[in-house]
């Protein structure tokens, strides 16, 4: 999830667990502790881009990290709030819930979370929700603002906590249920259209849970397309994208390229742009693929120019978006081809 959502979710959880005893200090503690696993983003200061991509949502998003850091944070919180009626045991529970909630919500989008580091590099990616979905974040942010403004003893504080945590949790669960329906439809369509595949994934298009990006992989490449919850026909218009593994052959021993392949969880393809080879991670979708099925992918890495990749996660996400792009997204979300 994005940083603002983590801050708001942490603040609401802090209020829910300790607001009565700590007052508004619970908002600050909740926001800080819930956001703590993302301290790994600082790895970009001394690591190469592929190294930092793997470092993010790596060890600091693991159960081992939670187990190690929880008693330390509980001790510090108890010392800072020694005059408050919160026991060390209660602090352990508060810190564990805040940290584990971060690990859980991050697993619901496409980046992947290494829960089992350092024992396994496998990353969970449930692909329930886009990394920033305003319908999920809105209720948390509104609740956090209300909690910051309301008096410590205001009875409205409990209602706002229920609004923030209740509606956002319901929306997140609905995303999981919609994904289940989309996955069921996609498997049926792949079989009906006789599309051969070894593996597939579905992930939401930007900022919604109605339109989904679909990738079905086989040995030579990928069939990609889009499926809306409101599509009436049980069929899809797939576009085939070759893997082009041969383009990466000169970099078979390159550690950064191997790290990017690992980061992509096998869903990568190579292409050529100008004088450089691009390595594309398909999990993050296309720039406006619902409008142009041949659109380039959001995540692309300049293989020959590694120093030009510092903003690889941000540069393509909303590139060339305009009013027509947004309107075409809304139409496709509604099931219009």
3-state secondary structure 129-172: CCCCCHHHHHHHHHHHHHHHHCCCCCCHHHHHHHHHHHHHHHHH
State CA 23 to chain mean position distance. Answer: 31
pLDDT per position as a tens digit, 214-248:
999 999 999 999 999 999 999 999 999 999 999 99
The answer to whether residue 287 is domain-embedded is yes
Average pLDDT over residues 106-117: 95
Angle at 107 between CA 210 and CA 120, to 5 degrees: 145
- How far is residue 53's CA from residue 64's CA, in Å, rounded to a whole number? 20
Instruction: Check whether residue 199 and residue 306 sit in a common domain.
Output: yes
| 105 and 201, same domain (yes or no) | no
The reply to whether 220 falls in a domain is: yes
Q: Is the pLDDT of residue 269 over 90?
A: yes
Q: Which of 141, 174, 207 is the last residue of a domain?
A: 174
Check residue 91 and give its pLDDT.
97
User: What range does the domain containing 289 cover?
Assistant: 193-333
Q: Is residue 317 very low, low, confident or very high in pLDDT (cuts 50, 70, 90)?
A: confident
User: Judging by beta carbons within 10 Å of its beta carbon (0-12, 13-18, 19+), is residue 298 exposed, middle or buried?
Assistant: buried
**Alpha helices (H) along 193-283:** 255-263
Strand partners, 246: none
Band of pLDDT at residue 140, cut at 50, 70 and 90: very high
Rounded CA gap, 70 and 95, in Å?
A: 6
Q: So what's the pLDDT on residue 16?
A: 97
Nearest CA-CA partner of 118 in 75, 49, 68, 44: 68
Domain identity same for 170 and 197? no
Whether the pTM exceeds 0.75: the reply is yes
Q: What is the pLDDT of residue 7?
A: 98
Residue 314 pLDDT more than 80?
A: no
State mean pLDDT over 306-315.
Answer: 85
- Please say whether the beta carbons of 111 and 264 come within 8 A: no
pLDDT at residue 44 is higher than 80: yes
pLDDT of 318 higher than 90: no
Work out the pLDDT band at 323, boundaries 50, 70, 90. very high
Q: What is the pLDDT of residue 227?
A: 97
Q: Are residues 81 and 144 in the same domain?
A: yes
Q: Could you tell me if 266 and 159 lie in one domain? A: no
- For the beta sheet containing 276-286, the strands, ordered from the edge strand earlier in sequence to the opposite edge, are 268-273, 276-286, 297-302
pLDDT, one tens digit per residue, over 148-207 is 999 988 999 999 999 999 999 999 999 999 999 999 999 999 999 999 999 999 999 999
Residue 320 pLDDT grade (very low, low, confident, very high; cuts 50, 70, 90):
confident
**Letter string b/e over residues 98-126, b meaning 16 or more CB atoms within 10 A of that residue's CB:** bbebbbebbbbbbbbbbbebeeeeebbbb
**Rounded CA separation 241/224 (Å):** 7
Q: What number is the average pLDDT over the span 108-118?
A: 95
Q: Is the pLDDT of residue 263 over 90?
A: yes
So what's the pLDDT on residue 218? 95
pLDDT at 312: 87
Phi and psi at residue 277, to the nearest 5°: -85, 135
How far apart CA 207 and CA 329 sit, in angstroms, is 10
Q: CA-CA distance, 148 to 51, in Å (whole number)? A: 38
Q: Is residue 93 part of a domain?
A: yes
180 occurs within a structural domain: no
Mention every residue, 6+ apart, whose C-beta is less than 8 A from residue 250.
none
Confidence label for 319 from pLDDT (cuts 50, 70 and 90) = confident
Domain-ending residue, one of 174, 209, 235: 174
* Residue 183, in any domain of the structure: no
Whether 182 maps to a domain, the answer reads no
Pair (55, 167) in one structural domain: yes
If one counts every other C-beta atom within 10 angstroms of the C-beta of residue 263, the result is 21
Mean pLDDT of the chain: 95
Does any domain span residue 179?
no
pLDDT at 311: 83
Please tell me the total count of domains within the chain.
2
123 occurs within a structural domain: yes
> What does the alpha-carbon distance between residue 19 and residue 287 come to, in Å, rounded to a whole number?
42
């Amino acid at each position: 999830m994005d940083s603002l959502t983590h801050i708001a979710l942490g603040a609401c959880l802090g209020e829910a667990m300790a607001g009565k005893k700590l007052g508004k200090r619970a908002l600050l503690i909740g926001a800080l502790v819930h956001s703590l696993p993302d301290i790994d983003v600082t790895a970009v200061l001394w690591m190469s881009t592929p190294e930092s991509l793997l470092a993010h949502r790596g060890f600091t998003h693991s159960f081992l990290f939670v187990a190690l850091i929880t008693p330390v944070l509980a001790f510090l919180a108890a010392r800072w709030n020694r005059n408050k009626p919160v026991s060390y045991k209660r602090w352990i529970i508060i810190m564990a819930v805040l940290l584990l909630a971060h690990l859980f919500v991050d697993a619901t989008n496409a980046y992947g979370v290494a829960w089992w580091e350092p024992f396994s590099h496998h990353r969970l990616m449930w692909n329930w929700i886009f990394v920033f979905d305003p319908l999920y974040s809105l209720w948390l942010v509104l609740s956090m603002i209300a909690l910051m403004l309301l008096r410590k003893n205001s009875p409205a504080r409990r209602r706002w906590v229920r609004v923030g945590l209740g509606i956002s949790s319901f929306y997140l669960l609905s995303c999981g249920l919609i994904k289940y329906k989309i996955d069921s439809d996609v498997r049926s369509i792949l079989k009906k259209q006789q599309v051969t595949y070894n593996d597939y994934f579905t992930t939401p298009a930007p900022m919604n849970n109605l339109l989904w990006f679909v990738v079905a992989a086989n040995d030579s490449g990928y069939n990609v397309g889009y499926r809306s919850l409101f599509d009436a026909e049980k069929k899809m218009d797939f576009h085939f994208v070759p893997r082009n593994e041969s383009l990466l052959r000169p970099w078979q021993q390159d550690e950064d390229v191997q790290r990017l392949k690992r980061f992509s969880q096998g869903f990568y393809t190579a292409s050529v742009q100008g004088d450089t080879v691009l390595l594309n991670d398909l999990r993050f979708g296309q720039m406006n693929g619902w409008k142009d099925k041949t659109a380039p992918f959001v995540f692309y890495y300049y293989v020959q120019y590694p120093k030009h990749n510092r903003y690889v996660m941000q540069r393509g996400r909303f590139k060339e978006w305009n009013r027509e792009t947004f309107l075409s997204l809304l139409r496709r979300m509604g099931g219009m081809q």
